[in-house]
Amino acid sequence: MNAPARVEAGFRLSEVDPGGTPGIDKSDAEREMADSAEAFSDLQERLFAESRAGGTRAVLLVLQGMDTAGKGGILRHVVGLADPQGVRITAFKAPTEEERAHDFLWRIERALPDPGLIGVFDRSHYEDVLIGRVRALASPAEIERRYEAIREFEAGLAAGGTLVRKVMLHLSRDEQKARLQERLDRPDKHWKFNPGDIDERELWDEYQAAYQLALERTSTPEAPWFVVPADKKWFARWGVHRILLDALRELDPQWPPADFDVDEQKARLAAS
């Protein structure tokens, strides 16, 4: 039941098996998620409560992965376990004209979680060094600048009290093919399919190389990356759940003390 490991110096994405389930089997993973539901809920509520008393801490979970890697399932089955009042999900699509007129971090800053919340990015500023690199949407010099800009940006978030955790859902090329096939076979899945998904698939190796670079340039102690094998959906869900739970435990939020005289209010209530 080891938690997923951080990306450290010397990490090689190509050495991670997308079909692996290191450290846990399916029944233990499901039991662990069920058993920790109450602790998770309690920690989330404490974080929220802390913010109501002036606390400024928050969590930001960044989700990245190739198409069909399971981001939607993570949102539904892992983030969905949280109290929705304490969650802010932002899905980033191709930037709008207004967004393109600003620095690539502009739209990211506007989507950051308020104090007390768990913010979740479904895709993120990392697209700007992934598709941005693979499709040459920006110059090589600009892509280089972005790694540094991201490190500084995320260090600033951490310094401001936002715990940043970044997850790459690591899918195999074969499993992606099977999942895209299912989207084409089932009419109730057609809406999830986009012909552009195959265009991106044809650049698989370029994307893996772009991920390798992004991971090594931007995994920092204060904003680490985790590569979670994602061919097995149950494993990916357990992995992300565990990363989120560990993040909340690291924050260790406490119930804020009353900012009123409890006995005085009890007397008022009794008389009301």
Shortest spacing between CB 192 and its own copies, in angstroms: 8
Does residue 56 bind its own copies (CB under 8 A)? no
Tokens 């490190």, located at residue = 151
Residues 164-183 that bind its own copies (CB under 8 A): 177, 180-181
CB 116 within 8 A of CB 58: yes
Q: Which DSSP string do the residues of 124-170 spell out, in sequence order?
A: -TTHHHHHHHHTT-S-HHHHHHHHHHHHHHHHHHHHTTEEEEEEEEE
Task: Return the number of the residue (61 or 215) whose C-beta is nearest its own copies.
Answer: 61
Among 1, 39, 53, 94, binds its own copies (CB under 8 A): 53
Instruction: Determine, following the binding rule CB under 8 A, whether residue 255 of this chain makes contact with its own copies.
Output: yes
How many CB atoms lie under 10 A from the CB of residue 18? 23
| Residue 212 beta carbon to its own copies: minimum distance, rounded to whole angstroms | 21
Q: Which of residues 114-173 bind its own copies (CB under 8 A)?
A: 122
**With CB under 8 A as the contact rule, which of the stretches 62-70, 157-165, 190-198, 232-240 interacts with its own copies?**
190-198
Strand ranges (E), the chain: 58-65, 87-91, 118-122, 162-170, 225-229
**Residue closest to 118 by CA, chosen among 36, 60, 47:** 60
- Specify the amino acid at residue 31: R
Residues in contact with its own copies, counted by CB under 8 A, come to a total of 42
Task: State which residue, 148 or 255, has the beta carbon closest to its own copies.
Answer: 255
Candidate segments 1-9, 125-133, 194-202, 232-240, binder of its own copies by CB under 8 A: 194-202
